[in-house]
Amino acid sequence: MIRWDTMPSPIGTLLLTGTKEGLTGLYMEAGGPDSSAVMSAVRDTTAFATAKQQLQEYFAGTRRTFDLPLQPEGTPFQVMVWDALREIPYGTTISYQELARRIGAEKAVRAVGAANGANPISIIIPCHRVIGADGSLTGYGGGIERKRWLLDHESGQRPLPL
């Protein structure tokens, strides 16, 4: 059974989805799942206590890594990209090209970008840490302003809540 709940954050309300086995989604207001996915789920305000605590610690600046069971659903290629995203250290960024190189798919930069964009567990699987080869901030499901906020936060700046 899929469960869901929300939590406030400095970048807006976050929607968490998951099962007993782990978190399946973490969405921002601007990049949530199809509403039918939540409509068929059950709201459970107690199911995500550990995830919420770790996210609060992240936003407070006291947590740099997450220790949560994750169950993202995707193709084997997408899961490989998402696993590689989790290896990008807090406070650092890499390019899509570098991400493709790290998974041994140097010629699949566009496919890597598409998999990055399909990441269902934002922040925890840190797709926001991937930027353009020229250092520019490129598309982000939660919006560029949230990507900028997350990167500023991780670089030690204290951005204002959105």
Dist CA 137 CA 153 (whole Å): 15
Mean pLDDT of the 13-35 span: 82
Question: What is the residue-averaged pLDDT of the chain?
Answer: 91
Close Cβ partners of 144 (under 8 Å, ≥ 6 residues apart): 137
pLDDT at 33 over 70: no
Give the chain's length. 162
Dist CA 157 CA 20 (whole Å): 35
Q: Which fold has domain 3-60?
A: Double Stranded RNA Binding Domain (3.30.160)
Q: Provide the pLDDT for residue 11.
A: 95
> Domain spans of the chain?
3-60, 76-154
Q: Which fold has domain 76-154?
A: Arc Repressor Mutant, subunit A (1.10.10)
What pTM value is reported for the model? 0.91
Active-site pick, 14, 38, 127, 131: 127
Dist CA 125 CA 77 (whole Å): 15
Active site includes 40? no
